[in-house]
Amino acid sequence: MSIQKTQVTIAIITCRRPLWLQRLLKSLIKQKVSDDIELNILVVDNAGEESTVDVVNQIAKKSKYSIHYFHESSAGIVFARNRCVEEFLKTDSQNLFFIDDDEWPESDQWAQKLLDKKAEYKADVVTSHVISVGGEDTPSWAIDLIYGKNNLVEGDSVNVFYTNNLLLSRKVLEQVNPAFDERFAMTGASDYHFALKCQKAGFNAFYTNAPVLEEFPKSRATVKWFLKRGFRSGIGFTRSHLFEDSLIKTVFYCAAMSAIRLLRGIGYCILGIITLNKTTFVDGLFRLCSAIGTIAGFFGIKHNEYNTIHGQ
């Protein structure tokens, strides 16, 4: 008697990082899922380079799971993510995973764990955290800072989630479509905006302990990069709420958040100086820049973070 299988898809967007993509694909084809799951892998390439195609073809020959490659010619992370959703919705797949090309699952049970918890919690969305690991010569202060300490526990309900470790049910993507807003094409924060739209649509989201690892390259481990990231995140936060909330609500909420970020930033900077802790001090600077960015978002200011490709 044949088993009726449920199709699920793991989506990856990539751009000029063939070695990292190769590492991820090698990890994904080792994932262990139950016999009633048919796992597929979807790669959307935002550069269309031959080296990326070669990597996909090389891994596909060794994989028991189907790997499908598509080239998205419109430059920008939003266009690549939406292409993933578009290709997913053409299939009978019921669940879509997102994982970044600079990551890889900590466990070969990663996909199954997210699926199991989705069923257990009757969830529309399941997410988990990211553990940063340093590339060669990446300073420890930057590795400690990028994601900080994970304070979520198993089964926590969450309102904010990102596409770096995510499982979405098909009905979410059928209803919230297009999923990712083109106004965030090169700026980042499209996944925060997507989470906000999901929340307003009434979908639930839960955390489970199924981390992925991310290589943090030395090229990002600078104070300047963190300051730009803080500024950009603040802008993206405000723009997201401007697009989804009333102006009055957004003004009061973002002004309050900017004040909180400002006070916390000052506190962390002072603590970092007292303790001679660079991670804490730069965290404070990050929060100060986020506070400034939160206000800057009201004035149409943008920072195009994804013009520069880090990694290999």
Q: Which of 201, 220, 239 is the last residue of a domain?
A: 220
- Confirm whether 312 is domain-assigned: no
- Confirm whether 55 is domain-assigned: yes
For residues 48 and 196, membership in a common domain is answered with yes
- Confirm whether 145 is domain-assigned: yes
- Confirm whether 242 is domain-assigned: yes
For residues 104 and 215, membership in a common domain is answered with yes
pLDDT for residue 179: 98
For residues 19 and 143, membership in a common domain is answered with yes
Counting the structural domains of the chain, the total is 2
Q: Which of 220, 244, 261 is the last residue of a domain?
A: 220
For residues 162 and 245, membership in a common domain is answered with no
Low-confidence ranges of the chain (pLDDT < 50): none
Q: Which of 181, 200, 220 is the last residue of a domain?
A: 220
Start-to-end Cα distance in the chain = 46
For residues 82 and 44, membership in a common domain is answered with yes
pLDDT for residue 4: 84
- Confirm whether 1 is domain-assigned: no
Tell me which residue range forms the domain holding 138. 6-220
